[in-house]
Amino acid sequence: MSKHTETPLEIDEMSNRRENMLINQLSNAISKSGIVQIGTSRHEAKQDRYNDLSNAGQKADSHNVNMTIGITSYASLHKFQTNAGKFGRWCFGNENLNNLNQIKPEHITKFLREICECEYAKNTAQSYASSLEKMAVMLDNVCPTSTPRAETWHAAIAEMRPEINDLPAKDTETRAYADPRGMIDAMDSPQMQMIASLQLDHGLRISDATKIDTANIDGTTLTIYNSKGGQDLKVELTPEEVSKINALADSDGLLHVKQDDYSGALRDACELSGQTWTGSHGLRHNYAQERMATLTSQGMDYNTALRTVSEEMGHHRIDITLTYLR
């Protein structure tokens, strides 16, 4: 089996003028914010920040401390500049922004979703998330807003944590499971089994599969509203699946579970079935591979089948779908 390799993040080209504008804005923000504190003891900085937060009556956990202390080493500064620069180029190139102050929480969510969709290694995605937390503090220091970015950006990042945590470790082999049905059968909860089946049989993302509303089912067509990138997806269910979802939904017609709870249940089932855990996203890999095999066996040419699977999975780039077929 092939080793895992992420698909490069797609960033539109910019003119030299816009590239220089971004570089100057980042450099000025880093300089004026005071976040660069090279030569300062990181341990002492953390202790001082812990005391400051405690004395102010604010939550002084490790996340808040690490997010708000300065950058104390050249290695950390280089990583921050690299990650913030890439995010900035994505915002300026793909989202057509002209100023770092125009960045909104939805840009954070969209960027991290694309990182996850490209299947970057978990530690790489976590590094981007940490840099964005630090970038929020930096911009708050330079140009405060009525609601601090440290709050709004953090909320957007927290929303993406389950998908980041579901990413493969570096050099993970293909994520498709050898016996996905056996893994689902090993789950105790019928609700969890249904969600896993939706991922396996229809290629749903974890964020979509764990928030099913029966009001969005018309006949046998389930509409997933505001999926990745704000797009709406149409999923054709079987009558049996519709009946199961209706039976498992709560009194409000919702089949909702916490993503972390679902991932934990699936991980336990994976262990019980004697398989290697590759995250819930591994079921989407199974779907892509089985769907491609079905379409081509029915006489559809490879390129048409690839486009069909890409559209069904909500991908906007064929090369991302190819990652699932390795």
Looking at domain 180-324, its CATH superfamily turns out to be Intergrase catalytic core (1.10.443.10)
CA distances (Å), origin 72, targets 40, 42, 79: 6, 6, 12
Q: What local confidence, expressed as pLDDT, does residue 104 receive?
A: 95
User: In 34-142, which ranges are continuous DSSP H helix?
Assistant: 42-55, 62-68, 74-94, 105-117, 122-142
Look up residue 273 and give its two tokens: 């079935």
**What's the pLDDT at 2?**
41
Render pLDDT for 202-244 as a digit per residue (tens, 0 to 9).
Answer: 999 898 999 999 999 999 999 999 887 677 889 999 999 999 9
| Alpha carbon of residue 26 to chain centroid | 24
pTM assigned to the model = 0.65
Contacts of 18 (CB under 8 A, 6+ apart): 92, 93, 98
Low-confidence residues of the chain: pLDDT under 70: 1-7, 42-43, 45-46, 48-50, 52-53, 58-68, 170-173, 229, 316
H or E element in which residue 217 lies: strand 217-218
| Domain boundaries of the chain, sorted by first residue | 16-36+71-165, 180-324
CATH for 16-36+71-165 is 1.10.150
pLDDT at position 107: 95
What pLDDT does residue 314 have?
A: 81
